[in-house]
Amino acid sequence: MQPLAVIGNVNVDLILGPADPWPTPGTEIMVDYDELRVGGSAGNAALTWDGLGFDFQIAANLGNDQFGEWLRQGFGKHSARWPVAPMGTTLSVGITHPNGERTFFTTRGHIAALSWLDVITSLDTERLKGGTAILCGSFLTDALVVQYDKLFDWADANDIRIALDTGWPIDGWTETNRIKARGWLARCHIALFNEVETTRLANSAEPAEAAHRLKALMPRDAIVVVKRGPDGALAVGSDDSLVSVNAPLVQVADTIGAGDVFNAAFLAALANDQTLGTSLAAGVRVASKAISTIPRRYDGEDTQTPPEEAL
């Protein structure tokens, strides 16, 4: 199996809900559920690999408070090289709603300070050669973003494929943010966006067409994946073929981090020399299990994903 790593944001998530109706300012409501857990795109991907039993590396940083120490303990040996930023830990409070949607309130915190030096000292480059690294949280990791060229040069020099999941920009998909993301895609071999991100970035309302447009910006052998939530996922392969898989029907408990879980399971299957369709199905299956179980599970044994469709 090819080696795996993830680079980006690890923070603390406090999940509360469901909130119905949204409280009037100055009032208080009681909710039925709360959970304090590791969060952030990189953290969610790493937890998925860990839950599935895969070996991996993770490059991240920590805040200089009790939450930072709690995160380090949660990742054990994987966090041994993580540096401590001179600021508090990024905290994200997620409020769930009865319809499955959620609202986030997030502090800037330590993740903005993650740098290229932090990344390169956290990873064992020799062990990662020939593998794949997820690069995520692009619009939150301010210090690292300005050094992306160094990261891409390092990846090229060591035969490491970069799989990009930028996340949603805080100020939306402005033209400036589109230009940035398109420039990053030109240096990446895998794109991992949800449906809305894909269509906004490509300026195309149809997901498959949008995926083809993004692939045209990338290296010839690139793969573009579109995560479609309850509608499954589709991908444009290195040969420009379009593959789609459906999602199983599940009782949704918590969708936070579903896309990150998909990323991890999809790339693990791909790294294990599975076909694009089989890898898509693995991502959908594991994400479906994760969003329908409390405590969260990743094994996917109880979900059945319909077969892939070549379009």
- Joined together, the tokens standing for residue 183 give 């420039």
Q: Is residue 100 situated within a structural domain?
A: no
Q: Is residue 29 situated within a structural domain?
A: no
When divided into structural domains, the chain yields a total of 1
C-alpha span between 252 and 287 (Å, rounded): 11
The dihedral built from the CA positions of residue 175, 177, 179 and 182, taken in this order, carries a sign that is: negative
Q: Is residue 213 situated within a structural domain?
A: yes
C-alpha span between 88 and 108 (Å, rounded): 9
C-alpha span between 220 and 240 (Å, rounded): 9
Domain holding 75, by residue range, is: 4-9+41-87+111-291
C-alpha span between 85 and 82 (Å, rounded): 10
Q: Is residue 188 situated within a structural domain?
A: yes
Q: Is residue 81 situated within a structural domain?
A: yes
C-alpha span between 266 and 226 (Å, rounded): 12
Cα atoms in the Cβ-side hemisphere of radius 13 Å centred on 80: 6
User: Which pLDDT tens digit goes with each residue over 30-84?
Assistant: 999 899 999 999 999 999 999 999 999 999 999 999 999 999 999 999 999 999 9
Element (H, E) at 194: strand 190-194
Where in 97-212 does DSSP place strands (E)? 102-106, 132-136, 161-165, 190-194
User: Which pLDDT tens digit goes with each residue over 102-160?
Assistant: 788 999 999 999 999 999 999 999 999 999 999 999 999 999 999 999 999 999 999 99
Residue 309 has pLDDT above 60, yes or no: no
CATH number of the domain encompassing residue 162: 3.40.1190.20
Burial of 151 (0-12, 13-18, 19+ CB in 10 A): buried
Q: Is residue 227 situated within a structural domain?
A: yes
Q: What is the pLDDT of residue 102?
A: 79
Q: What is the pLDDT of residue 99?
A: 78
What residues form DSSP beta bridges with 42?
Answer: none
The 3-state DSSP class for residue 50 equals helix
State the average pLDDT over residues 246-258.
Answer: 90
Q: Is residue 25 situated within a structural domain?
A: no
State the average pLDDT over residues 201-228.
Answer: 97
What residues form DSSP beta bridges with 4?
Answer: 132
pLDDT interval class at 300 (50, 70, 90): low
Burial of 69 (0-12, 13-18, 19+ CB in 10 A): middle
The 3-state DSSP class for residue 125 equals helix
Q: Is residue 231 situated within a structural domain?
A: yes
Residue closest to 134 by CA, chosen among 52, 226, 41, 218: 41
What residues form DSSP beta bridges with 35?
Answer: 15
